[in-house]
Protein backbone atom coordinates (compact mmCIF):
# COMPACT_ATOMS: atom_id res chain seq x y z
CA UNK A 1 0.00 0.00 0.00
CA UNK A 2 1.74 3.16 -1.14
CA UNK A 3 -0.27 6.28 -1.51
CA UNK A 4 0.96 9.72 -2.35
CA UNK A 5 1.42 11.81 0.81
CA UNK A 6 -0.59 14.65 -0.66
CA UNK A 7 -3.71 12.48 -0.58
CA UNK A 8 -3.64 12.55 3.21
CA UNK A 9 -3.30 16.23 3.75
CA UNK A 10 -5.81 17.17 6.42
CA UNK A 11 -4.46 20.41 7.84
CA UNK A 12 -3.54 23.56 6.03
CA UNK A 13 0.00 23.94 7.32
CA UNK A 14 2.84 21.51 6.72
CA UNK A 15 5.02 21.15 9.84
CA UNK A 16 7.51 18.68 8.37
CA UNK A 17 8.42 18.00 4.78
CA UNK A 18 11.11 15.51 3.82
CA UNK A 19 12.34 15.51 0.23
CA UNK A 20 14.68 12.91 -1.26
CA UNK A 21 16.17 11.91 2.08
CA UNK A 22 18.95 9.33 2.06
CA UNK A 23 21.32 8.20 4.76
CA UNK A 24 24.05 5.59 4.94
CA UNK A 25 26.72 4.78 7.48
CA UNK A 26 30.18 4.10 6.09
CA UNK A 27 30.26 2.24 2.81
CA UNK A 28 27.26 0.10 3.61
CA UNK A 29 24.23 0.42 1.38
CA UNK A 30 21.91 3.25 2.39
CA UNK A 31 19.71 2.70 5.42
CA UNK A 32 17.08 4.54 3.44
CA UNK A 33 16.98 6.61 0.28
CA UNK A 34 14.60 8.75 -1.68
CA UNK A 35 12.22 9.28 1.22
CA UNK A 36 9.48 11.81 0.61
CA UNK A 37 6.69 12.62 3.02
CA UNK A 38 4.86 15.46 4.70
CA UNK A 39 3.33 15.83 8.12
CA UNK A 40 0.55 18.35 8.60
CA UNK A 41 0.01 20.47 11.69
CA UNK A 42 -1.71 18.53 14.44
CA UNK A 43 -1.17 15.16 12.80
CA UNK A 44 0.04 12.19 14.79
CA UNK A 45 2.10 9.95 12.52
CA UNK A 46 3.31 6.46 13.43
CA UNK A 47 6.57 5.44 11.78
CA UNK A 48 6.84 1.66 11.70
CA UNK A 49 9.21 -0.91 10.29
CA UNK A 50 11.50 -3.78 11.22
CA UNK A 51 14.74 -3.32 13.14
CA UNK A 52 17.44 -1.73 11.02
CA UNK A 53 15.10 0.05 8.63
CA UNK A 54 16.33 3.42 9.88
CA UNK A 55 13.39 4.66 11.93
CA UNK A 56 15.52 6.22 14.66
CA UNK A 57 17.95 7.60 12.09
CA UNK A 58 15.08 9.16 10.17
CA UNK A 59 13.70 10.78 13.33
CA UNK A 60 17.10 12.29 14.09
CA UNK A 61 17.42 13.57 10.52
CA UNK A 62 14.03 15.22 10.91
CA UNK A 63 15.23 17.11 14.00
CA UNK A 64 18.62 17.94 12.48
CA UNK A 65 20.45 15.90 15.10
CA UNK A 66 22.23 14.04 12.31
CA UNK A 67 22.64 15.21 8.74
CA UNK A 68 21.24 13.16 5.85
CA UNK A 69 23.58 12.28 2.98
CA UNK A 70 21.25 14.04 0.61
CA UNK A 71 17.77 15.44 0.55
CA UNK A 72 16.09 18.19 2.48
CA UNK A 73 14.10 18.53 5.68
CA UNK A 74 11.81 21.49 6.15
CA UNK A 75 10.74 21.68 9.77
CA UNK A 76 8.23 24.31 10.86
CA UNK A 77 8.80 26.16 7.58
CA UNK A 78 12.58 26.24 7.88
CA UNK A 79 15.19 24.28 5.96
CA UNK A 80 16.95 22.66 8.88
CA UNK A 81 20.29 22.30 7.07
CA UNK A 82 20.36 25.94 6.06
CA UNK A 83 20.17 27.42 9.56
CA UNK A 84 22.91 27.34 12.16
CA UNK A 85 23.64 28.60 15.64
CA UNK A 86 20.96 30.70 17.35
CA UNK A 87 18.45 30.24 14.51
CA UNK A 88 18.73 26.47 14.72
CA UNK A 89 18.44 26.57 18.51
CA UNK A 90 15.36 28.78 18.21
CA UNK A 91 13.82 26.22 15.85
CA UNK A 92 14.69 23.36 18.18
CA UNK A 93 13.12 25.24 21.08
CA UNK A 94 9.83 24.62 19.26
CA UNK A 95 10.49 20.87 19.06
CA UNK A 96 10.98 18.05 21.54
CA UNK A 97 12.30 14.50 21.67
CA UNK A 98 11.11 11.60 23.80
CA UNK A 99 13.66 8.81 23.51
CA UNK A 100 13.54 5.02 23.81
CA UNK A 101 15.17 5.47 27.16
CA UNK A 102 13.92 8.34 29.24
CA UNK A 103 17.37 10.00 29.00
CA UNK A 104 17.03 11.80 32.29
CA UNK A 105 20.10 12.98 34.17
CA UNK A 106 20.11 10.38 36.93
CA UNK A 107 21.72 12.38 39.72
CA UNK A 108 19.47 15.41 39.43
CA UNK A 109 15.99 15.87 40.87
CA UNK A 110 12.90 15.23 38.78
CA UNK A 111 12.05 18.96 38.82
CA UNK A 112 15.54 19.94 37.60
CA UNK A 113 15.23 17.46 34.76
CA UNK A 114 11.91 18.96 33.65
CA UNK A 115 13.27 22.54 33.90
CA UNK A 116 15.99 21.48 31.42
CA UNK A 117 13.24 21.27 28.84
CA UNK A 118 13.21 25.09 28.90
CA UNK A 119 16.89 25.45 28.00
CA UNK A 120 16.08 26.12 24.36
CA UNK A 121 14.34 29.36 25.37
CA UNK A 122 16.37 30.29 28.43
CA UNK A 123 20.08 29.78 28.88
CA UNK A 124 22.39 30.04 31.87
CA UNK A 125 23.03 28.72 35.37
CA UNK A 126 19.59 29.73 36.67
CA UNK A 127 18.09 26.95 34.53
CA UNK A 128 20.64 24.30 35.48
CA UNK A 129 19.13 23.16 38.77
CA UNK A 130 15.70 23.74 40.25
CA UNK A 131 17.13 25.40 43.36
CA UNK A 132 18.38 28.34 41.27
CA UNK A 133 15.56 28.45 38.72
CA UNK A 134 13.24 31.46 38.39
CA UNK A 135 9.77 31.04 39.88
CA UNK A 136 8.12 30.98 36.44
CA UNK A 137 10.32 28.08 35.32
CA UNK A 138 9.69 26.13 38.52
CA UNK A 139 5.94 26.73 38.18
CA UNK A 140 5.89 25.63 34.53
CA UNK A 141 7.94 22.52 35.27
CA UNK A 142 5.77 21.65 38.26
CA UNK A 143 2.63 22.06 36.14
CA UNK A 144 4.12 19.76 33.50
CA UNK A 145 4.90 17.20 36.19
CA UNK A 146 1.35 17.51 37.48
CA UNK A 147 0.04 16.73 34.00
CA UNK A 148 1.92 13.44 33.99
CA UNK A 149 0.82 12.70 37.57
CA UNK A 150 4.21 13.02 39.22
CA UNK A 151 3.97 16.33 41.09
CA UNK A 152 4.49 14.45 44.36
CA UNK A 153 7.90 13.26 43.21
CA UNK A 154 9.28 16.65 42.14
CA UNK A 155 12.28 16.53 44.46
CA UNK A 156 13.06 12.84 44.11
CA UNK A 157 16.28 11.88 42.36
CA UNK A 158 15.64 10.75 38.81
CA UNK A 159 17.53 7.50 39.34
CA UNK A 160 15.11 6.51 42.09
CA UNK A 161 12.11 6.34 39.75
CA UNK A 162 10.59 3.29 38.08
CA UNK A 163 10.87 2.92 34.30
CA UNK A 164 7.32 4.15 33.73
CA UNK A 165 7.77 7.14 36.04
CA UNK A 166 11.06 8.04 34.33
CA UNK A 167 9.44 7.97 30.92
CA UNK A 168 6.63 10.20 32.19
CA UNK A 169 9.23 12.69 33.43
CA UNK A 170 10.82 12.53 29.98
CA UNK A 171 7.43 13.40 28.49
CA UNK A 172 7.00 16.29 30.94
CA UNK A 173 10.44 17.61 29.96
CA UNK A 174 9.54 17.40 26.28
CA UNK A 175 6.22 19.20 26.82
CA UNK A 176 7.25 21.91 29.30
CA UNK A 177 8.47 24.23 26.55
CA UNK A 178 5.13 23.95 24.68
CA UNK A 179 6.71 22.42 21.55
CA UNK A 180 5.03 22.69 18.19
CA UNK A 181 6.51 19.42 16.90
CA UNK A 182 7.37 16.37 18.93
CA UNK A 183 9.32 13.27 18.04
CA UNK A 184 9.03 10.11 20.13
CA UNK A 185 11.38 7.22 19.42
CA UNK A 186 9.72 4.06 20.74
CA UNK A 187 8.67 5.73 23.98
CA UNK A 188 7.49 2.42 25.46
CA UNK A 189 10.38 0.22 24.32
CA UNK A 190 11.94 -0.05 27.77
CA UNK A 191 8.68 -0.57 29.67
CA UNK A 192 6.63 -3.62 30.55
CA UNK A 193 3.32 -3.97 28.63
CA UNK A 194 1.18 -2.49 31.41
CA UNK A 195 3.45 0.53 32.02
CA UNK A 196 3.91 0.92 28.25
CA UNK A 197 0.17 1.08 27.73
CA UNK A 198 -0.28 3.65 30.49
CA UNK A 199 2.59 5.83 29.27
CA UNK A 200 1.44 5.72 25.67
CA UNK A 201 -2.14 6.61 26.58
CA UNK A 202 -0.99 9.49 28.75
CA UNK A 203 1.47 10.75 26.13
CA UNK A 204 -1.07 10.72 23.34
CA UNK A 205 -3.83 12.32 25.40
CA UNK A 206 -1.47 15.16 26.33
CA UNK A 207 -0.14 15.84 22.85
CA UNK A 208 -3.59 15.67 21.29
CA UNK A 209 -4.99 18.00 23.93
CA UNK A 210 -2.18 20.48 23.24
CA UNK A 211 -2.50 20.06 19.48
CA UNK A 212 1.15 19.12 19.06
CA UNK A 213 2.27 17.54 15.81
CA UNK A 214 3.79 14.14 16.58
CA UNK A 215 6.01 11.69 14.73
CA UNK A 216 6.52 8.52 16.76
CA UNK A 217 7.96 5.08 16.19
CA UNK A 218 6.70 1.89 17.72
CA UNK A 219 7.10 -1.84 17.30
CA UNK A 220 3.69 -2.24 18.87
CA UNK A 221 1.32 -2.56 15.92
CA UNK A 222 -1.71 -1.81 18.07
CA UNK A 223 -0.14 1.38 19.38
CA UNK A 224 0.64 2.52 15.86
CA UNK A 225 -2.89 1.79 14.62
CA UNK A 226 -4.65 3.13 17.71
CA UNK A 227 -2.71 6.32 18.32
CA UNK A 228 -1.48 7.22 14.86
CA UNK A 229 -3.66 9.26 12.54
CA UNK A 230 -1.42 8.10 9.75
CA UNK A 231 1.02 5.23 9.25
CA UNK A 232 4.40 5.56 7.56
CA UNK A 233 5.86 2.10 6.99
CA UNK A 234 9.54 1.66 6.14
CA UNK A 235 10.77 -1.42 4.34
CA UNK A 236 13.99 -1.96 2.41
CA UNK A 237 14.99 1.67 2.77
CA UNK A 238 11.79 2.94 1.16
CA UNK A 239 8.36 3.99 2.30
CA UNK A 240 6.14 0.95 1.78
CA UNK A 241 3.04 2.28 3.54
CA UNK A 242 1.79 5.84 3.70
CA UNK A 243 -1.87 5.80 4.57
CA UNK A 244 -4.44 6.76 7.14
CA UNK A 245 -4.37 4.42 10.11
CA UNK A 246 -7.95 3.29 9.60
CA UNK A 247 -7.07 2.19 6.08
CA UNK A 248 -4.19 -0.02 7.22
CA UNK A 249 -4.81 -3.57 8.36
CA UNK A 250 -2.78 -5.66 10.76
CA UNK A 251 -1.80 -7.81 7.78
CA UNK A 252 -0.39 -4.78 5.97
CA UNK A 253 1.67 -4.03 9.04
CA UNK A 254 2.80 -7.64 9.41
CA UNK A 255 4.20 -7.58 5.87
CA UNK A 256 6.63 -4.83 6.92
CA UNK A 257 8.34 -7.26 9.26
CA UNK A 258 8.78 -10.09 6.73
CA UNK B 1 25.83 -35.39 18.94
CA UNK B 2 27.40 -34.00 15.78
CA UNK B 3 30.82 -35.11 14.56
CA UNK B 4 32.27 -31.64 14.99
CA UNK B 5 35.35 -31.53 17.22
CA UNK B 6 35.73 -29.20 20.18
CA UNK B 7 37.48 -25.94 19.35
CA UNK B 8 40.98 -25.40 20.77
CA UNK B 9 41.09 -23.69 24.16
CA UNK B 10 43.60 -21.12 22.91
CA UNK B 11 44.19 -19.92 19.37
CA UNK B 12 47.72 -20.55 18.08
CA UNK B 13 49.39 -17.18 17.40
CA UNK B 14 50.33 -16.38 13.83
CA UNK B 15 53.84 -15.44 12.74
CA UNK B 16 53.15 -11.77 13.39
CA UNK B 17 51.73 -12.47 16.84
CA UNK B 18 54.69 -14.69 17.74
CA UNK B 19 57.13 -11.97 16.68
CA UNK B 20 55.16 -9.48 18.76
CA UNK B 21 55.44 -11.65 21.90
CA UNK B 22 59.15 -12.17 21.21
CA UNK B 23 59.67 -8.41 20.82
CA UNK B 24 57.95 -7.74 24.16
CA UNK B 25 60.17 -10.28 25.93
CA UNK B 26 63.32 -8.81 24.32
CA UNK B 27 62.35 -5.26 25.31
CA UNK B 28 61.83 -6.35 28.92
CA UNK B 29 65.22 -8.15 28.99
CA UNK B 30 66.89 -5.11 27.41
CA UNK B 31 65.25 -2.84 30.00
CA UNK B 32 66.36 -5.05 32.89
CA UNK B 33 69.93 -4.86 31.63
CA UNK B 34 69.74 -1.08 31.36
CA UNK B 35 68.27 -0.92 34.88
CA UNK B 36 71.39 -2.63 36.25
CA UNK B 37 69.73 -5.92 37.10
CA UNK B 38 71.99 -7.87 39.44
CA UNK B 39 70.98 -11.15 41.05
CA UNK B 40 74.03 -11.02 43.36
CA UNK B 41 73.07 -7.62 44.73
CA UNK B 42 69.44 -8.71 45.10
CA UNK B 43 70.45 -11.83 47.08
CA UNK B 44 72.80 -9.82 49.31
CA UNK B 45 70.18 -7.14 50.05
CA UNK B 46 68.02 -8.80 52.77
CA UNK B 47 70.78 -8.69 55.44
CA UNK B 48 71.36 -4.98 54.65
CA UNK B 49 67.64 -4.29 54.80
CA UNK B 50 67.42 -6.14 58.11
CA UNK B 51 70.34 -4.05 59.38
CA UNK B 52 68.54 -0.84 58.35
CA UNK B 53 65.33 -1.94 60.08
CA UNK B 54 67.30 -2.88 63.18
CA UNK B 55 68.95 0.57 63.29
CA UNK B 56 65.70 2.39 62.46
CA UNK B 57 63.53 0.61 65.03
CA UNK B 58 62.05 1.86 67.26
CA UNK B 59 61.09 5.08 65.47
CA UNK B 60 62.28 8.28 67.11
CA UNK B 61 59.83 10.33 69.19
CA UNK B 62 62.30 13.11 70.07
CA UNK B 63 61.11 15.67 67.52
CA UNK B 64 57.58 14.45 67.18
CA UNK B 65 55.95 17.88 67.59
CA UNK B 66 58.19 19.43 64.91
CA UNK B 67 57.59 16.51 62.57
CA UNK B 68 53.86 16.71 63.24
CA UNK B 69 53.79 20.39 62.24
CA UNK B 70 55.78 19.55 59.10
CA UNK B 71 53.18 16.88 58.34
CA UNK B 72 50.43 19.44 58.80
CA UNK B 73 52.24 21.77 56.39
CA UNK B 74 52.54 18.86 53.95
CA UNK B 75 48.80 18.27 54.12
CA UNK B 76 48.11 21.98 53.67
CA UNK B 77 50.26 22.00 50.52
CA UNK B 78 48.43 18.93 49.21
CA UNK B 79 44.89 20.08 50.04
CA UNK B 80 45.32 23.66 48.78
CA UNK B 81 47.13 22.53 45.62
CA UNK B 82 44.67 19.72 44.88
CA UNK B 83 41.61 21.91 45.53
CA UNK B 84 42.78 24.67 43.19
CA UNK B 85 43.94 22.09 40.64
CA UNK B 86 40.63 20.20 40.69
CA UNK B 87 38.57 23.39 40.25
CA UNK B 88 40.77 24.55 37.36
CA UNK B 89 40.63 21.07 35.82
CA UNK B 90 36.90 21.34 35.08
CA UNK B 91 37.11 24.15 32.49
CA UNK B 92 40.32 22.67 31.12
CA UNK B 93 38.62 19.28 30.75
CA UNK B 94 35.63 20.88 29.01
CA UNK B 95 38.08 22.14 26.39
CA UNK B 96 39.88 18.78 26.24
CA UNK B 97 36.76 16.62 25.82
CA UNK B 98 35.85 16.01 22.19
CA UNK B 99 32.32 16.98 21.23
CA UNK B 100 31.31 18.55 24.55
CA UNK B 101 32.16 22.23 23.97
CA UNK B 102 34.78 22.14 21.26
CA UNK B 103 35.73 20.22 18.17
CA UNK B 104 38.60 17.88 17.43
CA UNK B 105 41.27 20.57 16.83
CA UNK B 106 40.94 22.44 20.13
CA UNK B 107 40.51 19.18 22.02
CA UNK B 108 43.74 17.79 20.53
CA UNK B 109 45.67 20.96 21.37
CA UNK B 110 44.48 21.00 24.99
CA UNK B 111 45.12 17.27 25.40
CA UNK B 112 48.66 17.76 24.07
CA UNK B 113 49.29 20.46 26.69
CA UNK B 114 47.88 18.19 29.41
CA UNK B 115 50.15 15.40 28.17
CA UNK B 116 53.14 17.72 28.49
CA UNK B 117 52.14 18.66 32.04
CA UNK B 118 51.91 15.00 33.01
CA UNK B 119 55.16 14.13 31.29
CA UNK B 120 57.09 16.52 33.55
CA UNK B 121 57.51 14.91 37.02
CA UNK B 122 56.11 16.72 40.06
CA UNK B 123 59.62 17.19 41.47
CA UNK B 124 60.63 18.97 38.25
CA UNK B 125 57.60 21.27 38.55
CA UNK B 126 58.61 21.95 42.15
CA UNK B 127 62.12 22.93 41.00
CA UNK B 128 60.62 25.25 38.39
CA UNK B 129 58.42 26.97 40.98
CA UNK B 130 61.26 27.19 43.52
CA UNK B 131 63.08 29.21 40.85
CA UNK B 132 59.95 31.25 40.09
CA UNK B 133 58.62 32.04 43.61
CA UNK B 134 61.45 31.00 45.91
CA UNK B 135 61.95 28.22 48.45
CA UNK B 136 59.07 27.11 50.63
CA UNK B 137 55.60 25.56 50.62
CA UNK B 138 54.13 28.04 48.12
CA UNK B 139 56.36 26.60 45.40
CA UNK B 140 55.22 23.13 46.42
CA UNK B 141 51.57 24.11 46.28
CA UNK B 142 51.95 25.53 42.77
CA UNK B 143 53.66 22.32 41.68
CA UNK B 144 50.71 20.32 43.05
CA UNK B 145 48.24 22.63 41.24
CA UNK B 146 49.92 22.03 37.89
CA UNK B 147 50.35 18.32 38.52
CA UNK B 148 46.67 17.98 39.50
CA UNK B 149 45.50 19.82 36.38
CA UNK B 150 47.55 17.44 34.24
CA UNK B 151 46.00 14.43 35.96
CA UNK B 152 42.41 15.52 36.64
CA UNK B 153 42.09 17.55 33.42
CA UNK B 154 42.80 14.50 31.31
CA UNK B 155 40.65 12.06 33.28
CA UNK B 156 37.74 14.50 33.70
CA UNK B 157 37.76 14.87 29.90
CA UNK B 158 37.78 11.09 29.44
CA UNK B 159 34.93 10.79 31.95
CA UNK B 160 32.84 13.34 30.04
CA UNK B 161 33.47 11.69 26.69
CA UNK B 162 32.22 8.34 27.96
CA UNK B 163 28.95 9.51 29.52
CA UNK B 164 25.64 8.26 28.13
CA UNK B 165 24.91 10.59 25.18
CA UNK B 166 21.12 10.21 25.60
CA UNK B 167 20.46 13.08 28.05
CA UNK B 168 22.70 15.41 26.02
CA UNK B 169 20.82 14.48 22.84
CA UNK B 170 17.47 15.13 24.54
CA UNK B 171 18.63 18.61 25.55
CA UNK B 172 20.13 19.28 22.11
CA UNK B 173 16.70 18.53 20.64
CA UNK B 174 15.19 21.29 22.82
CA UNK B 175 17.68 23.85 21.44
CA UNK B 176 19.93 24.06 24.50
CA UNK B 177 23.38 25.62 24.10
CA UNK B 178 26.48 23.47 24.39
CA UNK B 179 27.48 25.02 27.72
CA UNK B 180 24.01 24.37 29.14
CA UNK B 181 24.11 20.78 27.89
CA UNK B 182 27.54 20.28 29.46
CA UNK B 183 26.36 21.76 32.76
CA UNK B 184 23.00 19.98 32.88
CA UNK B 185 23.70 16.60 31.27
CA UNK B 186 27.38 15.84 30.76
CA UNK B 187 28.91 17.08 34.02
CA UNK B 188 26.19 15.65 36.32
CA UNK B 189 26.48 12.31 34.55
CA UNK B 190 30.25 12.38 34.97
CA UNK B 191 30.13 13.64 38.55
CA UNK B 192 30.63 10.26 40.27
CA UNK B 193 33.71 9.72 38.11
CA UNK B 194 34.84 13.30 38.85
CA UNK B 195 34.59 12.67 42.59
CA UNK B 196 36.49 9.43 42.28
CA UNK B 197 39.18 11.03 40.10
CA UNK B 198 39.41 14.04 42.45
CA UNK B 199 39.94 11.82 45.46
CA UNK B 200 42.65 9.92 43.60
CA UNK B 201 44.08 13.34 42.69
CA UNK B 202 44.09 14.31 46.37
CA UNK B 203 45.80 11.07 47.35
CA UNK B 204 48.36 11.65 44.60
CA UNK B 205 48.86 15.21 45.86
CA UNK B 206 49.43 14.00 49.42
CA UNK B 207 52.01 11.46 48.22
CA UNK B 208 53.72 14.06 46.03
CA UNK B 209 53.77 16.70 48.76
CA UNK B 210 55.66 14.37 51.07
CA UNK B 211 58.71 14.43 48.82
CA UNK B 212 58.62 18.02 47.54
CA UNK B 213 60.76 18.99 50.50
CA UNK B 214 63.66 17.16 48.82
CA UNK B 215 63.99 20.15 46.47
CA UNK B 216 63.10 22.84 49.00
CA UNK B 217 59.43 23.13 48.13
CA UNK B 218 58.13 22.66 51.67
CA UNK B 219 56.63 19.75 53.54
CA UNK B 220 57.97 16.83 55.50
CA UNK B 221 60.21 15.49 52.74
CA UNK B 222 63.17 17.54 53.90
CA UNK B 223 63.02 15.83 57.33
CA UNK B 224 63.23 12.40 55.71
CA UNK B 225 66.19 13.52 53.58
CA UNK B 226 68.02 14.92 56.60
CA UNK B 227 67.27 11.73 58.52
CA UNK B 228 68.88 9.57 55.84
CA UNK B 229 71.76 12.01 55.20
CA UNK B 230 72.69 12.06 58.92
CA UNK B 231 72.10 8.29 59.34
CA UNK B 232 69.33 9.20 61.80
CA UNK B 233 67.29 6.21 60.68
CA UNK B 234 64.84 6.26 63.63
CA UNK B 235 63.74 9.77 62.61
CA UNK B 236 63.52 8.69 58.95
CA UNK B 237 61.40 5.73 60.04
CA UNK B 238 59.11 8.05 62.00
CA UNK B 239 58.62 10.18 58.90
CA UNK B 240 57.91 7.12 56.73
CA UNK B 241 55.32 5.83 59.20
CA UNK B 242 53.69 9.27 59.47
CA UNK B 243 53.42 9.45 55.68
CA UNK B 244 51.90 5.96 55.55
CA UNK B 245 49.34 6.80 58.25
CA UNK B 246 48.36 10.06 56.56
CA UNK B 247 48.07 8.54 53.06
CA UNK B 248 45.99 5.62 54.33
CA UNK B 249 43.88 8.04 56.36
CA UNK B 250 43.25 10.21 53.31
CA UNK B 251 42.18 7.09 51.38
CA UNK B 252 39.72 6.14 54.12
CA UNK B 253 38.31 9.66 54.40
CA UNK B 254 38.01 9.70 50.62
CA UNK B 255 35.91 6.53 50.68
CA UNK B 256 33.55 8.04 53.29
CA UNK B 257 33.27 11.34 51.37
CA UNK B 258 32.59 9.49 48.14
CA UNK B 259 29.67 7.61 49.72
CA UNK B 260 28.28 10.79 51.31
CA UNK B 261 28.47 12.91 48.15
CA UNK B 262 26.97 10.18 45.94
CA UNK B 263 23.82 10.07 48.05
CA UNK B 264 22.58 13.64 47.55
CA UNK B 265 20.24 15.01 44.91
CA UNK B 266 20.59 18.55 43.64
- Classify residue B72: in a domain, yes or no: yes
- The total of structural domains in chain B comes to 1
> Would you call A16 an interface residue with chain B, using a CB distance cutoff of 8 Å?
no
Structure confidence at residue A7 (pLDDT) = 36
User: Residues A86, A173: one domain?
Assistant: no
State ipTM. 0.82
**CATH code at A226?**
3.40.50.300
pLDDT tens across the length of chain A (258 residues)? 444 343 344 557 889 999 999 988 877 788 888 899 999 988 999 999 888 888 889 999 998 888 899 999 999 989 988 888 889 888 988 888 888 877 898 888 999 999 999 998 888 899 998 999 999 999 999 999 988 888 999 999 998 998 888 988 998 998 898 888 989 888 887 777 887 888 888 888 878 888 889 999 988 888 888 888 999 999 888 888 899 988 888 888 888 887
A56-81 in b/e burial notation, b at 16+ Cβ within 10 A? bbbbbbbbbbeebeebebbbbebebe
- Highest mean pLDDT, choosing among A92-101, A173-182, B104-113, B215-224: B104-113
C-alpha count within 13 angstroms, C-beta hemisphere, residue B80: 15
User: Residues A120, A240: one domain?
Assistant: no
Q: Which residues contact B178 (CB under 8 A, 6 or more apart)?
A: B100, B101
- Classify residue B50: in a domain, yes or no: no
Structure confidence at residue B262 (pLDDT) = 61
Structure confidence at residue B1 (pLDDT) = 56
Contact list, A123 vs chain B (CB under 8 Å): 176-177, 179-180
Cβ(A116)–Cβ(B174) below 8 Å: yes
User: Residues A123, A87: one domain?
Assistant: no
Question: DSSP secondary structure string, chain B?
Answer: --SPPPPPSSPPP-HHHHHHHHHHHHHHHHHHHHTT--HHHHHHHHHHHHHHHHHHPSPP-TTHHHHHHHHHHHHHHHHHHHHHHHHHHHHHHHHHSBTTTB-HHHHHHHHHHHHHHHHS-HHHHHHHHHHHH-SSHHHHHHHHHHHHHHHHHHHHHHHHHTS-HHHHHHHHHTT--HHHHIIIIIHHHHHHHHHHHHHHHHHHHHHHHTTGGGGTSSSTHHHHHHHHHTT-HHHHHHHHHHHHHHHHHHHHHHHHHHHHHHT---
What would the mean pLDDT of B178-184 be, rounded to a whole number?
A: 92
pLDDT band, residue B8 (cuts 50/70/90): confident
- B265 closest CB neighbour out of A65, A101, A109: A109
pLDDT band, residue B152 (cuts 50/70/90): very high
Report the length, in residues, of chain B. 266
- Classify residue A99: in a domain, yes or no: no
Structure confidence at residue A120 (pLDDT) = 87
Structure confidence at residue A6 (pLDDT) = 37
User: Residues A161, A218: one domain?
Assistant: no
User: Residues A25, A71: one domain?
Assistant: yes
> Would you call A121 an interface residue with chain B, using a CB distance cutoff of 8 Å?
yes
Structure confidence at residue B166 (pLDDT) = 86
Structure confidence at residue B21 (pLDDT) = 93
Cβ of B167 and A104 within 8 Å? yes
- B169 closest CB neighbour out of A103, A106, A155: A103
User: Residues A19, A134: one domain?
Assistant: no
User: Residues A4, A81: one domain?
Assistant: yes
User: Residues A125, A228: one domain?
Assistant: no
Domain ranges, residue A244: 1-94+180-196+212-258
**CATH code at B73?**
1.10.3720.10
- The total of structural domains in chain A comes to 2
- Classify residue A217: in a domain, yes or no: yes
- Classify residue B178: in a domain, yes or no: yes
User: Residues A86, A186: one domain?
Assistant: yes
- A101 closest CB neighbour out of B166, B184, B189: B166
pLDDT tens-digit map of B17-45 = 899 999 999 999 999 999 989 888 888 88
Domain ranges, residue B182: 64-262
What would the mean pLDDT of B178-203 be, rounded to a whole number?
A: 89
A116-155 in b/e burial notation, b at 16+ Cβ within 10 A? bbbbbbbbeeebbbbeebeeebbebbbebbebbebeebbe
Structure confidence at residue B157 (pLDDT) = 94
Report the length, in residues, of chain A. 258
User: Residues A224, A248: one domain?
Assistant: yes
Amino acid sequence: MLDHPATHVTGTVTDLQATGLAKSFGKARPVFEGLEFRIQRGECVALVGANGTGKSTLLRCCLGLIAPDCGQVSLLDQDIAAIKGPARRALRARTGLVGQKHNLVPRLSVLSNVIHGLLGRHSGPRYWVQGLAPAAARTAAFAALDKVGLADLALRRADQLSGGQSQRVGIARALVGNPRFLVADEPCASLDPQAGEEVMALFMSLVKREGVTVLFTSHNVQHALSYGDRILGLQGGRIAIDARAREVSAQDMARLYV
Amino acid sequence: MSDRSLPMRFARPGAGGFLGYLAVVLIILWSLEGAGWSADRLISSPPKLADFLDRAWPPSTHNLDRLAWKMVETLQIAIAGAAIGIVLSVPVALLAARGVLVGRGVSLAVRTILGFIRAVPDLAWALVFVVAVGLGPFAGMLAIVVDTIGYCGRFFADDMETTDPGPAEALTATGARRLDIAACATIPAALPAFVSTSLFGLEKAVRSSTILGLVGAGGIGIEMKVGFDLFDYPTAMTVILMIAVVVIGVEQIGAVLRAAIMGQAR
